Amino acid sequence: MATELNRRKLLQRMAQLSLGASLLSAPAVAHALLKRNDSARANNYLLLGCTKQQDKYQLSAMFSNGELPYQLALPARGHHVALAKKDHGLAACVGRRPGHYIVLFEPRTGQLLGNITPPANMHFYGHACFSDDASKLYVTAGDSDTSQGAVLVYQQQAERWSLSQRWPIAGLGPHQLLMLPKQRLVVAVGGIHTQGREKLNLETMRPALVYLDSETGQALLTRELPDNQLSIRHLCYSTHSDTVWLACQGQNPQREVSSLVYSQHAMEPCMALDADADYWPLFNHYIGSIECVDGTLLASSPRGGKLAVWSETERELAQLMQVDDVCGLATHAKGWVASTGQGQLIQKAQPIQRLQTALQWDNHLSVLDIS
């Protein structure tokens, strides 16, 4: 429980940040729709995410004005859409853990390009990323009996994608992975052994951040957190500072966490963001997505109903907003977009704008530049 002093500090901090919160809570803004008389392509980006509508799962593509150029039916709940660099016209939608499908498609048009299923007795963990030249697709996966982690490397051969390499990871339950400069692949290892969605080893779990050589799979660096029950799930990479940011989820609700976001740079240890700040209890032990752009760091908490913005350089909270069921985050040249499970798209503007859609947006959001 927070002390009375911490409560006072929290109230003071919320008052200082109330401008950002009020922008999103004002009824006039909450029900505003973006003007539809603008050309869709004038927005210069297309939002891609896994959605649910009338008890059916789809991949949905939407312009920021609400126009829906296409949807693709999914065999089960999806999690994340990985995009190759835009010149390659390639994207991959990965099924939610324990996932058993990847749908490959052309992100501008929705044209289906192929499907991937995991090897026998393995499942996907919901995330993938492409090599810079889009010739390889890296996917986090695990043994269905033990949750022993691996990165599966698929390569395109003729018109099919085939498994070419399997790199074991020293850890259980890998989740998001990113391609970095200098031939590096970074993997968030959650540390949790699961059967289906049931977690079996919360007392002994060992989360880690693992760097691999993207050509050979050789382990380059491993970093752990001081709290072994803080599962590392999601990542973003800041070109501004050559830093990887880690979004975590606490697995022990009885234990107060000092931070849910960490950074890791060069050979340094992982460093907590704003350690022991009074606002962390508001996130309810859960960060759902994290993004960084132009020296700004964003994180969402669907369980806490919070969308937070920090200055990456100063490592201080700049804005804290109440947004029910917010999770998906994506950044583009003009700012950022967030999505909610209640169908809203929230876009950085002056004032911040919300677009109500008929879709339940899932955990992650991706942006395709179509300029």
**Amino acid in position 305:** G
Q: Cis link prior to 118 (omega < 30° from 0)? A: no
Q: Which of 226, 232, 125, 150 is nearest to 188 (CA)?
A: 232
Q: Cα separation of 143 and 123, whole Å? A: 7
pLDDT of residue 352: 84
pLDDT tens for the 371 residues of the chain, in order:
333 334 334 434 443 443 333 233 222 222 223 333 344 444 689 999 999 999 999 999 999 889 999 999 999 999 999 999 988 999 999 999 999 999 999 999 999 999 999 999 999 999 999 999 999 999 999 999 999 999 999 998 877 999 999 999 999 999 999 999 999 999 999 999 999 999 999 999 999 999 999 999 999 999 999 999 999 999 999 998 999 999 999 999 999 999 999 999 999 999 999 999 999 999 999 999 999 998 999 999 999 999 999 999 999 999 999 999 999 999 998 889 999 999 999 998 777 889 999 999 999 999 999 87
Residue-level pLDDT at 307: 98
Q: Which residues neighbour 366 within 8 Å (Cβ) at sequence distance 6 or greater? A: 47, 48, 49, 80, 81, 82, 83, 91, 330
Closest by Cα among 49, 113, 147 to 364: 49
| Three-state SS letters, the chain | CCCHHHHHHHHHHHHHCHHHHHHHHCHHHHCCCCCCCCCHHHHCEEEEEEEEECCEEEEEEEECCCCCCEEEECCCCEEEEEECCHHHCCEEEEECCCECCEEEECCCCCCEEEEECCCCCEEEEEEEEECCCCCEEEEEEEECCCCEEEEEEEEEECCEEEEEEEEEEEEECEEEEEEECCCEEEEEECCCCEECCEECCCCCCCCEEEEEECCCCCEEEEECCCCCCEEEEEEEEECCCCEEEEEEEECCCCCCCCCCEEEEECCCCCEECCCCCCCHHHHCCECCEEEEECCEEEEEECCCCEEEEEECCCCEEEEEEECCCEEEEEEECCEEEEEECCCEEEECCCCCEEEECCCEEEEEEEEEECC
Tens digit of each residue's pLDDT (9 = 90 or more) over 221-257: 999 999 999 999 999 999 989 999 999 999 999 999 9
Structure tokens at 203: 């007392």
What is the chain's mean pLDDT, rounded?
89
pLDDT of residue 43: 62
The pLDDT assigned to 40 comes to: 43
Supply 109's token pair.
């048009």
Q: What is the pTM of this model?
A: 0.89
A 10 A CB-CB count for 350 gives 6
How far apart (Å, rounded) are the C-alpha atoms in residues 284 and 370?
37
